[in-house]
Amino acid sequence: NPNASFTKDVLLSQKFLTQQQLIQGAVLHPASMEQALKLVLDSAETEDSFFVADIRDFFNQFDTWVKHIPRVKPFFAVKSNPDPVLISILASLGTGFDCASKSEIKQILDLGISPDRIIYAHPCKPSSHLSYAYSKNVDLMTFDNSDELYKMKKLAPNARAVLRVSTDDSNSLCRLSLKFGAPMDTTHDLLTTAKKLGVNVVGVSFHVGSGCHDDSAFIDALSRARTVFDQAEDLGFNLSLLDIGGGFPSPKEKQGAKFSNIAANINSTLDKLFPPSLGINIISEPGRFFCSSAYSLAVNITSKRTVSSAPQTLTEVKNDIKNSEEPSFMYYINEGVYGSFNCIMFDHQIVYPEILVNDGEFVYDNPCEQSQIEKRFESSIWGPTCDSIDCVVANTKIPELFVGDWLLFQNLGAYSRSAASKFNGFESSTVFYYDSQQTKKC
Ligand code: PLP
């Protein structure tokens, strides 16, 4: 029973958590996000930013997946968030893992997860990473070009190869097919080369792009996969695996395609092109779907600058022109685009600040009261580094805040901590876990 197995003791004994992260048993007892935030804020002695992560959300997302796309087994894309707590819970639920490098593979194997639950889903692999994977019995891997086929033949001769095809990802925020995926006019030649070399091609994969805004993108991609299955069959291959990649949205995303619509399109297209009677093993590589919504980031306002409404230019001074009636504020926080907010740059994420502590008072548990605060000011929110590109929110209208106050950013579990740097000496934020089980949702 996975719901019962992630107690404080288990998490501690498996060294997923430090004592410090188990602030007042936040993970042990059912708690709302508000309670978890309060616990950490009350007990933390520093101003350091921190994440709170709801482990219940991992279970809920898994249930949602199974309910909507039961034919497709998820292989969680480790790159999106390699948090060992998340990975261990997903492993306990039976998912596989999409790894893209030696160290991602090592992380999964070190957690005791079997190599046959890994797909090495990088079509252009460094030789040393490929040799490592193969030596550890990770033999399911993608390719999309003939040089990779020669490399695989030499270093991983009995690998189970998966041909990744390009997709029309013009409606996705992160267009992965600009870099990876065999164009459709090359797939026949690639399969012919594989046949000649004796590479064991077992399946086809694709990725519709991350942050996909088109819920029909999978329909076209699946029909491309069907074409390649047919080409392979003509050449004497007997393909048994279809990998439909990632690109599934988080439930908290405000824009873009809805998961339920995407799932409905996938199910009906699979039934047409890859009916269950064919016995094809169908997998996927979701990343953000499993990790984004559980994590919220609390950041401290470390500095503030009031931008005067006084005239700025000589002409304005001469003509006594005021820029606006009100001052505006620049807030400096202790996470930025070189840290966990790198998703703004690399993942095109739009982030929304919510007020957690205002003028020293915890206000998050009363959003109604917050929304009644009428006096709002033009504000911008900046990361901690010395760089002016380090802007988290360029323009927002919020009540006035003060140094020492806290903001919260939700839906920040994907491509955030995993790509955070320590530029300028700023450490990445710690994660505190809680379990919202039994919490009443309003
Ligand atoms: N698989 C591959 C090969 C990827 O490159 C990515 C993301 O870049 C993913 C899966 C995960 O994508 P997403 O987080 O959009 O589900």
Which tens digit of pLDDT belongs to each residue from 189-204? 999 999 999 999 999 9
Place of tokens 């949205």: 249
Work out the end-to-end distance of the chain between its first and last CA atoms, rounded to an integer number of angstroms: 27
Distance CA 178, CA 189 (A): 20
- One-letter amino acid at 306 equals T
| Beta strand spans in 144-199 (E) | 160-164, 172-174
Average pLDDT, the chain: 90
Q: Name the residue with the closest Cα to ligand 1, atom 6.
A: 246
pLDDT at 25 over 70: no
The pLDDT value given to residue 294:
96
- The single-letter DSSP state of residue 440 is P
One-letter amino acid identity for 182? A
Report whether pLDDT(104) > 60. Answer: yes
Q: How far does the centroid of ligand 1 lie from the alpha carbon of residue 174, in Å?
A: 9
How many whole angstroms from 299 Cα to the centroid of ligand 1?
27
Model pLDDT, residue 371: 63
400/22: higher pLDDT: 400
One fold for both 1-54+293-442 and 55-291?
no
122 Cα nearest atom in ligand 1: 3
* Closest CA to ligand 1's atom 3: 121
Residues 6+ apart with CB under 8 A from 154: none
Q: Is the ipTM of this complex over 0.95?
A: yes
Nearest CA to ligand 1 atom 5: 176
State in Å: Cα 199 to ligand 1 middle. 25
H/E element, 427: none
Strand ranges (DSSP E) for 274-429? 281-284, 295-307, 328-333, 353-358, 361-362, 377-382, 391-398, 406-409
**CB hemisphere CA count around 428 (13 angstroms):** 14
Residues framing ligand 1 (Cβ under 6 A) = 77, 80, 98, 121, 176, 207, 210, 245-248, 285-289, 414
Ranges of each domain in the chain: 1-54+293-442, 55-291
**For residue 434, what are its two tokens?**
């809680």
* Other beta carbons within 10 Å of 389: 10
One-letter amino acid of 343: C
Tens-place pLDDT, residues 55-93? 999 999 999 999 999 999 999 999 999 999 999 999 999
Task: Give per-residue pLDDT as tens, 271-328.
Answer: 999 999 999 999 999 999 999 999 999 999 999 999 976 656 667 666 666 566 789 9
- pLDDT value, residue 253: 82
442 part of the active site: no
Among 126, 166, 121, 155, smallest CA distance to 141 is for: 121
Cα of 399 vs centre of ligand 1, distance in Å, is 37
Q: Categorize the per-residue pLDDT at 264 as very low, low, confident or very high, splitting at 50, 70 and 90.
A: very high
Q: Which of the listed residues 285, 291, 292, 347 should we mutate to test ligand 1's pocket, taking the one with most ligand atoms within 8 A of CB?
A: 285
In CATH terms, the fold of domain 55-291 is TIM Barrel (3.20.20)
* CATH of the domain spanning 1-54+293-442: 2.40.37.10
Distance 210 CA to ligand 1 centre (A): 6
Q: Which of 368, 386, 391, 442 is catalytic?
A: 386
The C-alpha atoms of residue 165 and residue 26 are separated, in whole angstroms, by: 45
